[in-house]
């Protein structure tokens, strides 16, 4: 996986079918048996689906015709197909309104089937609602998820004699001890500008979503702003403070993302904060592989119970004008079985998204599951923001704040301006 591949790929009718037709399709999809016909499926990789396609075809008589492409190219292709009426029955969509082919963007156009009545919908985490629900209706199936967490070199921690922290004071104490031992506490590769999102998203999960849970509702209603948010202000003050206090890579603006991870792998640095999808890459940089890599949630307060983590799913959606909606719904039912949900996530090095999924026995899933079960997860911030303008402002003005030419006030003002532009 290249550095670019680690980037966070940060009210209309619900479908073209009537409610009765959807109920019939749901019944057929969940009943098993010979459905027949073909199912057109389009997603970013066959790595997950290939686990189940052969058995699904044998059990249902459906022939699955898969198309697989990189997320950006797939999104552009789907946008054209939806407009022309040639979109596949079942396809991958980005969360929220993050792109023209994202879940809620398409739902607002009436391009997606309402999936609220499906049995698996009860196991979708509540924190996903801003990414896949509109007017109380659910429009997407979360195949798996990734979280933004702190990954560390266990050998470095053992050498220095520190343990994974659970509170902010403990975190700072660990950073102090690592720094005193001659290690770079936090590897930070901001030469790749998208990486500037990760630490702020991890901190804001607690400081904004955890402590101002209605912030985005009030923001959309015009009742508040980024500049007025104590949580967002503290997020950026803490982020910039970590750099100013020498806890990060010296000159992070000159360090690309992959070399920053390599520094953790070699033991020169101790910790890197990043999406969990990148963890196999980090493990590959370590002599001991996955066994040498530890993980913990990034704390932001004095109380461990306050900590929330960013956790965002990947989605499959059903075309409102699907040629074989019964087969599409049946396939979702099939992969929604707890052991299959877990198997798909395990195969792609991710985390099961449904709350009833069979647990996966590795440190990543052991870290994330308590937060899922306790409802202490939030979407990646850029997936809640409309369009891509706000994330672009964070990446551009955030780098200027790191170099010292912009202030926290400037950064917050830039986010507000970008948000207003995206809403206009």
- Rounded to an integer, the average pLDDT of 379-404 is 93
* 24 has pLDDT over 60: no
- Among 356, 352, 381, smallest CA distance to 364 is for 352
pLDDT exceeds 50 at position 362? yes
Tens of pLDDT, residues 370-389: 998 898 999 999 988 887 88
**pLDDT at position 28:** 38
Q: What is the dihedral of CA 374, 379, 381, 387, to 10 degrees?
A: -160
H-only helix segments in 227-314: 230-244, 257-266, 279-284
Summarised one tens digit per residue, pLDDT across range 160-172 is 999 999 999 999 9
320: exposed, middle or buried (Cβ count in 10 Å: 0-12, 13-18, 19+): buried
SS (H, E, C) 100-130: CCEHHHHHHCCCECCCCCCHHHHHCCHHHHH
Q: Do domains 8-146+312-377 and 147-309+380-423 have the same CATH topology?
A: yes
Q: For the segment 267-293, what is each residue's pLDDT rounded down to a tens digit?
A: 999 999 999 989 989 999 999 999 999
Question: Phi and psi for 182 in degrees, rounded to 5?
Answer: 85, 15
**Angle formed by the axes of helices 389-403 and 230-244, to 10°?**
40
Q: According to the model, what pLDDT value does residue 387 have?
A: 74
d(CA 85, CA 94): 20
Tokens 């049995």: give the residue.
119
> What is the rounded average pLDDT for all residues in the chain?
90
Q: What is the pLDDT of residue 13?
A: 23
What does the alpha-carbon distance between residue 212 and residue 306 come to, in Å, rounded to a whole number? 12
pLDDT band at 369 (very low <50, low <70, confident <90, very high): confident
Block residue for tokens 């992969």: 335
Please, what's the largest Cα pairwise distance for the chain?
Answer: 67
List alpha helices for 181-293, DSSP H.
Answer: 198-204, 215-220, 230-244, 257-266, 279-284
Q: Is the pLDDT confidence value at 188 over 60? A: yes
Q: How far is residue 22 from each of residues 15, 19, 25, 90, measured CA to CA in Å?
A: 9, 5, 5, 15
pLDDT grade, residue 4 (50/70/90)? very low
Residue 192: per-residue pLDDT: 95
HSE of 153 in the Cβ direction (CA atoms, 13 Å)?
28
Ordered by start, the domain boundaries in the chain are: 8-146+312-377, 147-309+380-423
Contact 353, 276 (CB under 8 A): no
Beta bridge partners of 145: 313, 351
Residues 165/171, Cβ–Cβ less than 8 Å:
yes
Residue 33 pLDDT = 52
The SS3 call for residue 151 is strand
Going by DSSP bridges, is the β-strand pair 38-43/90-93 parallel, antiparallel, or unpaired? parallel
- Asked if 299 contacts 371 with a C-beta cutoff of 8 angstroms, the reply is no
If you average pLDDT over residues 364-372, what whole number do you get? Answer: 91
3.40.50.1370, 3.40.50.300, 3.40.50.261, 3.40.190.10: which CATH number matches 147-309+380-423? 3.40.190.10
Choices 2.60.40.10, 1.10.1020.10, 3.40.190.10, 3.40.50.1000: CATH for 8-146+312-377: 3.40.190.10
Write down the pTM of the prediction: 0.84
pLDDT for 72-124, tens place per residue?
899 999 999 999 999 999 999 999 987 888 999 999 999 999 999 999 999 99
pLDDT at 359 over 60: yes
Distance CA 268, CA 182 (A): 9
Residue 403 φ/ψ, nearest 5 degrees: -80, -10
Q: Which structure tokens are listed for 203?
A: 């901190």
């Amino acid at each position: 996986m290249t550095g670019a591949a680690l980037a966070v790929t940060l009210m209309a009718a619900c479908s073209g079918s009537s409610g009765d037709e959807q109920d019939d399709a749901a019944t057929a999809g969940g009943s098993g048996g010979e459905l027949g016909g073909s199912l057109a499926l389009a997603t970013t990789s066959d790595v997950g689906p290939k686990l189940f396609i052969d058995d699904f075809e044998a059990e249902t008589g459906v022939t699955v015709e898969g198309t697989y492409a990189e997320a950006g190219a797939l999104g552009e292709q789907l946008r054209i197909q939806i407009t022309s009426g040639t979109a596949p029955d079942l396809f991958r969509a980005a969360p929220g309104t993050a792109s023209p082919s994202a879940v809620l963007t398409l739902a607002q156009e009436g391009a997606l089937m309402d999936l609220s009545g499906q049995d698996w919908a009860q196991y979708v985490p509540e924190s996903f609602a801003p990414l896949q629900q509109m007017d109380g209706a659910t429009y997407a199936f979360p195949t798996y998820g990734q979280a933004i967490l702190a990954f560390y070199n266990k050998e470095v921690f053992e050498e220095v004699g520190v343990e994974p922290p659970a509170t902010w004071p403990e975190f700072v104490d660990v950073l102090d001890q690592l720094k005193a031992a001659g290690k770079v506490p936090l590897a930070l590769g901001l030469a790749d500008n998208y990486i500037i999102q990760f630490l702020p998203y991890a901190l804001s999960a607690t400081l904004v979503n955890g402590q101002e849970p209605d912030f985005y509702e009030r923001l959309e209603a015009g009742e508040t702003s980024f500049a007025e948010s104590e949580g967002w202000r503290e997020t950026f003050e803490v982020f910039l403070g970590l750099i100013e206090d020498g806890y990060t890579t010296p000159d992070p603006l000159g360090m690309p993302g992959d070399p920053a991870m390599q520094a953790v792998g070699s033991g020169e640095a101790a910790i890197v904060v990043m999406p969990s999808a990148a963890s196999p890459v980090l493990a590959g940089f370590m002599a001991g592989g996955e066994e040498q890599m530890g993980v913990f949630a990034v704390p932001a307060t004095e109380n461990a119970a306050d900590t929330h983590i960013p956790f965002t799913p990947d989605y499959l959606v059903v075309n409102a004008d699907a040629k074989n909606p019964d087969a599409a719904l049946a396939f979702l039912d099939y992969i929604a079985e707890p052991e299959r949900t877990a198997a798909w996530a395990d195969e792609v090095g991710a985390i099961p998204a449904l709350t009833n999924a069979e647990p996966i026995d590795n440190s990543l899933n052991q870290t994330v599951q308590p937060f899922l079960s306790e409802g202490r997860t939030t979407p990646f911030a850029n997936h809640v923001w409309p369009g891509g303008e706000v994330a672009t402002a964070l990446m551009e003005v955030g780098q200027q704040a790191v170099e010292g030419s912009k202030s926290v006030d400037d950064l917050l003002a830039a986010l507000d301006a970008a948000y207003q532009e995206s809403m206009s």
